[in-house]
């Protein structure tokens, strides 16, 4: 029962932290203001929830803010306790290093997921109050995808934290991943595909379009966008884009599991 104990401890401490409360309040306020400002009226009222989420809340806030919160929540998970010396005390209890790493992923990921759901409560109330048709199912489903994106970045940041000896190194690594996935991915991958000669692409078993799709869903932010838009459009895992959506879901699982595993390998090899 060591892993659940670590997870419960981190969940409790993260939820109760002032920083997390402030982030919830900021996120909730921003989404609420955006929901009120861009609310559709007239004949478009029935599309209020879907349009707000897919065209405004997602690209403007969720894609940028939720991953950043995940970085903040996760980067000090292991390296912070390592610097303070409390990690040795934690490992003196019947906890393995795997229990520590994955317990912190679960605990802090759950805390961020709860924070996302809490942050969407006030915007939901705004949409219910203003004169638009509120689709509670679409709103709740989108919130699940937003929370999943946050959990992925918590996992990546905890992996960086486990592999780093100091919080500064963990922060640099986590911010580097954030910049790559959130700010630079589309530019870099577009130039990468464009720089490959056509003769090389023709010799590959995949077409240029398939390569672009793979690179897109390899980015967790794009993968969540693909899945959430399909959900809001009522075509999740169905239609012509079903394989693309399955690939996106598989990549989210990969980015949730692989970074903590990689960090654990480095953490296991370190002499504390």
Encode pLDDT of 175-207 as tens digits.
Answer: 999 999 999 988 887 777 666 666 555 666 666
> Of how many residues is the chain composed?
272
Rounded CA Rg of the chain:
20
pLDDT at 160: 96
pLDDT at 5: 86
For the record, the structure tokens of 37 come out as 């400002």
Kindly state the average pLDDT of the residues 8-36: 80
Instruction: Please state, in angstroms and rounded to a whole number, the distance separating the CA atoms of residues 225 and 250.
Output: 14
Contact 251, 220 (CB under 8 A): yes
Instruction: Please state, in angstroms and rounded to a whole number, the distance separating the CA atoms of residues 87 and 268.
Output: 13
150 three-class SS: helix
Is residue 16 situated within a structural domain? yes
Number of independent structural domains in the chain: 1
Is residue 171 situated within a structural domain? yes
Is residue 28 situated within a structural domain? yes
The alpha carbon torsion through 238, 54, 148, 242 (nearest 10 deg) reads: 10
Is residue 44 situated within a structural domain? yes
Mean pLDDT, the chain, integer: 83
Q: How many CB atoms lie within 10 A of CB 207?
A: 11
Give the end-to-end CA distance of the chain in Å, rounded to a whole number: 24
At 241, the pLDDT band (50, 70, 90 cuts) reads confident
Domain that holds residue 57: 2-179+257-269
Whether the CA torsion 249, 149, 211, 174 is positive or negative: it is negative
């Amino acid at each position: 029962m060591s892993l659940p104990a670590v997870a419960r401890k981190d969940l409790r401490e993260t939820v109760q932290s002032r920083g997390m409360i402030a982030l919830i309040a900021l996120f909730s306020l921003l989404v609420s203001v955006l929901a009120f400002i861009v609310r559709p009226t007239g004949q478009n009222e029935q599309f209020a929830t879907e349009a707000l989420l897919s065209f405004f809340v997602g690209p403007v806030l969720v894609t940028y803010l939720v991953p950043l919160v995940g970085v903040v929540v996760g980067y000090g998970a292991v390296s912070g306790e390592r610097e303070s010396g409390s990690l040795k005390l934690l490992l003196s209890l019947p906890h393995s290093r795997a229990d520590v790493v994955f317990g912190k992923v679960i605990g802090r990921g759950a805390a961020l997921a709860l924070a996302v759901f809490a942050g969407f409560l006030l915007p939901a109330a705004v949409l219910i109050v203003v004169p638009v048709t509120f689709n509670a199912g679409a709103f709740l489903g989108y919130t699940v995808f937003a929370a999943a994106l946050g959990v992925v970045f918590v996992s990546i940041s905890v992996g960086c934290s486990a592999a780093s000896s100091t919080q500064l190194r963990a922060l640099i690594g986590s911010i580097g991943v954030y910049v790559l996935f959130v700010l630079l991915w589309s530019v870099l991958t577009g130039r990468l595909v464009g720089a490959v000669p056509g003769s090389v692409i023709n010799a590959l078993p995949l077409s240029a379009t398939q390569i672009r799709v793979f690179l897109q869903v390899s980015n967790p932010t794009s993968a969540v966008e693909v899945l959430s838009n399909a959900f809001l459009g009522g075509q999740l895992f169905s239609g012509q884009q079903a394989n693309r959506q399955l690939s996106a879901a598989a990549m989210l699982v990969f980015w949730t599991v692989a970074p903590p595993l990689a960090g654990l390998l480095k953490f296991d090899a370190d002499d504390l």
